[in-house]
Amino acid sequence: MKSNYLIIGCGNHGSRILDIFVKKKLPVVVVEKNQERIVELKILYSSNHQIIFVDSLEKGLVHLNDRYSCVLSNWANDRFSELIRLKNNGCNKVFLEKPFASSIKDLDKINNLFSKNFVLVPSLPQNFSDFHVNIKNLIEKYNLGDLNYIIHFGGAKGLMNNGIHYLDTSLKFINSELVKTVGFIDTANINPRNKESYFYDGNIIFKFKDGKSINISMSNQSMMNNYTIYNFKFGNIILNENDLGYLNFIKKSNRELPITRTRLDETVILKNIYGNFLEYFEKNIDFFIYEKDIKKFKNYFEKCFVSQRYLLNAVHKITNTSIDQSLNIT
């Protein structure tokens, strides 16, 4: 029996996706170029006879129906060329890992690929969590006032690899035109899976017309996980990626004081604001597998595309590289 589903690239993240397909009892073809990894996967999934492992798309096509969906989890530098190959070989829907592309030029080409016959579904699972609702409920409950800025900071998470998650999440709280991007960026060849591509770090500040800003800062010299600070007129929300944090706020009786009388009156411990990652990641996969409404796909893709374009454009600008030039992202 032929399959409707293909996974290209089955490293740690790809195998996490494969586990979801296994859970749903969906036959799947897996393309993995690394022969040692294929041996590992065949042992790991030896009891499952609905998975076929091959080392090339050409070999995989033999086991696929004429129209199929693909999870594309390869390197960003190869993303656009692989999408063209898939489109030309019967694929009609792609679960698109981030970064979507390694240059603005390729990103805009990918944007033009989207159609009712070739749907692109970004892998940005925080869009399927209750996180934004949870934060907005806290803002209302404690009457924190207007948002001023959001800061994300941490260690070697990959400014280009994971920065889009933080930027995309932050943009949900800002409804204003981007007017300025500044920062500094460095690169290192520290990704243990790919020493030839760059692992970006540094600091990028996105400034918006209404005065709000988003600051994303990562260091390749640190093993620390990320923290996020939301600063409001009357309080802060501070979270870490272990889903613990706290909310500081100023009592109502002190809110009429001059703005320069900075203070911290009370603190509330926060838990489970982000929610369970695996649960909302699976919701992202469910959307990819089961959703039929092309308008919902298009709306989701366009919102995610804005976040990716902001980030790629910022890196091109700060590193003084042409939008045609690949940023050599892992």
pLDDT of residue 185: 97
Domain covering 127-275 in this structure, CATH number: 3.30.360.10
Q: 81: phi > 0 → left, psi -120 to 50 → alpha, else beta; which?
A: alpha
- 22 φ/ψ angles, rounded to the nearest 5 degrees: -65, -45
Question: What is the spatial distance between Cα 140 and Cα 330, in angstroms, rounded to a whole number?
Answer: 40
What is the CATH topology of the domain spanning 3-125+280-292?
Rossmann fold (3.40.50)
- Alpha-carbon separation of residue 78 from 120, 248, 303, 321 (angstroms): 16, 45, 23, 19
Looking at the chain, which residues constitute the CATH 3.40.50.720 domain(s)?
3-125+280-292
pLDDT tens per residue across all 330 residues of the chain: 799 999 999 988 899 999 999 999 999 999 999 999 999 999 999 999 999 999 999 999 999 999 999 999 988 889 999 999 999 999 999 999 999 999 999 999 999 999 999 999 999 999 999 999 999 999 999 999 999 999 999 999 999 989 999 999 999 999 999 999 999 999 999 987 788 889 999 999 999 999 999 999 999 999 999 999 999 999 999 999 888 999 999 999 999 999 999 999 999 999 999 999 999 999 999 999 999 999 999 999 999 999 999 999 999 999 999 999 999 987
CATH 3.30.360.10 residue ranges for the chain = 127-275
Residue 303 neighbours by CB distance under 10 Å: 15
First to last CA, the chain: 35
Which pLDDT score, from 0 to 100, does residue 17 have? 96
